[in-house]
Structure 1
Amino acid sequence: MSQPAKRRAKWFRRYQLSLVIVDLLAATAAVVASFAFRFGSVDDSAGGRFYLVLTALAPVAWVAAVSTNRGYEARFVGVGATEFQRIFQAFLQLTAVVAFTSFVTKADLARGFVLLALPLALLFTIIGRYGARKWLHRQRGSGRALSSVLVVGDASAIEDFTSMVRRDRYAGMRVVGACVPGELAIDEVTITTLNAIDVPILGDVDCIRAAVSISQADTVAVVSSGVLGPEKLRSISWQLEGTSTDLVVSPGLTEVAGPRLHIRPVAGLPLLHVEEPQFTGFRRVLKGAFDRSVAALALLLLSPLFLVLAVAVQVSSPGPALFRQVRVGRAGGTFLMLKFRSMYTDAEARLAGLRGHSHHGDGLLFKMRDDPRVTPVGRFLRKYSLDELPQLVNVVRGTMSLVGPRPPLPLEVARYEDHVHRRLLVKPGLTGLWQVSGRSDLSWEESVRLDLRYVENWSLAEDLLILWKTARAVIAGSGAY
């Protein structure tokens, strides 16, 4: 094993062990709490001893279930919602096993103990995993716990890959060099392009092993396999044999997540099967039910806050408490979106005179840090996104979701490029990837990219993760004006 691979393996083994400990502690806390709630104290009867043994073994069974569902594999931990999906799958699997075993053996398990222990184990594990992930992100943000990547391909593909990796500082990759097809290694445009992004050319694709040794890379990423051809790609894999260096190949698809990608071998050729994004079906029904239930509960719990904010808006400036605006929803249909009014009533009339001060030069979005049309109370509402709360009514009505793309104006949609219309395949959201990735600080292009990523790869696990991140972003009051 090469030295970089050893270093990478060492830090990941430590992180992997920490996840096992987190899961064991979470499951232990869950079963102990459930035991105390259900039985109160330990007795010396056979039944009491049985539940003590069960309490001792349950954390091990939980870790085994997580491991069976590949919850400790490097490719699933640290980024995205897939890690939490694996934990949820382990919860479902263990629940099914306990139910089946209890039925077959006719064991008289206390339902209160089981029904409390498993959901608590799931909850505590997710909280613990989230804490571990934040620690890993801090490590990666300071340049540690990274994979050193040697990129193989043409200059434009290497440039795109490098910019994406550097933009996502939590991805866990650091580009340390590049190899390009033979004739491109001395091409002036290639050299200029890679010099501009500070990526050294370490040779052509016939000297990958030497380039790995020079760059101390632990991963080789092939980002333009079509340029290389299958023979060269196979040669690269042979060169890396015995080095413990990972080989990853980009399929050329951007913003398409792993759950939609599957390898289908045909006549010895591995074909990448890309599943269609799901816009209908049971998962959509489940998402709609979840959205409306949570929104209705939130409206009930927040009704006193609504009253206080409505009074504050009306007292601060003349006009109604609520602002209604036509927005475009799913499939291009329009609806009236509700917000607490954060601007003076003549805001629309004053917009034309402020166009030149927008922080988005393309004109599709108008965002201004010190917008004079915003009232003092409105500035506070916007900082903490309190002006968005009435959109919970839109969610209950079914015109919006809790999580989805940003709800656009009809004028924006009229100027969309063809691919941007994919934002309208799903309901717009009260929050979304755009909300947890910079809010008003995002450029138009970045906002579109994030919305399309959500549309292509949405899942309930991702929705829950975005809702959690939204709460943190709102409390911090970052990126909104």
Structure 2
Amino acid sequence: MKKSELIVASVLVPLDYLMLLAAAATAYSLRFGVWATGVRPVIFTLPFATFLKIAAAIAPVWILFFAFAGLYAISGRKKIMDEISSIVLASSTSVLIIIIAFFFEQRLFSSRFIILAAWGLGMVYVVAARMVVKYVQRSLYVLGKGVHKIVVIGDTVGATDFTNLIRKNPRLGYILLATYPSFSPEVERAILVLNKIEGVDELIQADTDLPKADRLRLFDFAYEYHFVFKYIADFFRIESSRIALENLAGLQLMEVKRTPLDGWGRIVKRLFDIVVALLLMVLFSPLMLVIALVIKLDSPGAVLFTYQRIGEKGKPFTFRKFRSMVEGAHTLKYSHELQQQNERAGSPVFKLKHDPRVTRVGAFLRTTSLDELPQLFSVVRGVMSLVGPRPHEAEEVARYAKHHKYVLAVRPGMTGLAQINGRSDLGFEEEVRLDTYYIENWSLKLDVYILAKTPLVVFSRKSAC
């Protein structure tokens, strides 16, 4: 999923809305224009401002049916005729409901012409606007903007047909970086090198004869390094409830989605993060000033602890929280004495229950999780989320097993499913299991539940982050 696709999908909703309002306004002008009233006098008049308010209230219903028809799907490409058919079907359903509503509410207006004209013009305007968007998007593809950089695995006639199609049609939005006849450790290393140089977006498995072990290894490899995984339809079978079908110039591709956050979920979660984080920043700003002052008075050193952590797709970011330890605490972590006390020895993560590096004020901040408040700024910046797996240090991530890396598929969070289930008392594997469940089963309702439960867990002293 490319950022450009998210932008296009986000633009389509307000664009469709404006086109529907424009269609309604045009229909009104046609009916109440001088030439029309001369042919057929108006029996029931309605001020334009009032009419526009009614149209503005009705348009969201139309948009809702567009959504039901899949017209705002982020992944997958519809043929133009399929998209037009969906627009006609959704528009006709919307108008039918509007006519039924007007039948029971006779005080509005009774112009059948306006309703039918708005219906026809609405379809024309929406289709025209979408064609413009599609033209701009495809023109950008030709310039190499927003394209999917792909690697194809397979040495068959089908794979050759697919790669030829991609090479000949840059407007499809794909750039072929490399093809490999099979999948081997050498190919893995080559893809990783290519990813560092060019940036690989997708791995496409296009070989019917690829051994099952190689297919599964390719699938795991894509998940481990956060590549989108697709395969030619009927070439591959794998258990997954998150399958998206894509029609690419007559060829059927199937995408195995890693999480509901691939698509509209990502947009919804981001908007939710921004709104809630800004509200919390305003609410807690006086408290944060007090905490900063108390930290300064309690022990020498900076107010904020700043360190590099690993975020979404393995990208490092600057992690900040209120300092709760003595200055130089990170260096002390490597002392023989503290390493002997590590409660998670054998796992990638270092953890001490009774950490001697924690200051007096720091102990309180950690118990109440108030040391996490500066991360609200990271949420607004977009490098963190309110809810998600906790971010770890680069040296810890370097020791991750393959299945641990799945937690890097999304933005790290200030709190998460592991935090509200006793993170301090959990083993690392259990923490990963909970974070994986969250990623695979994300919903806005789950985010709200975790955020609501976090303060309850914190103040019951069941967790110390």
TM-score normalised by length of structure 1: 0.44
TM-score normalised by length of structure 2: 0.46
> Rg bigger for which structure?
2
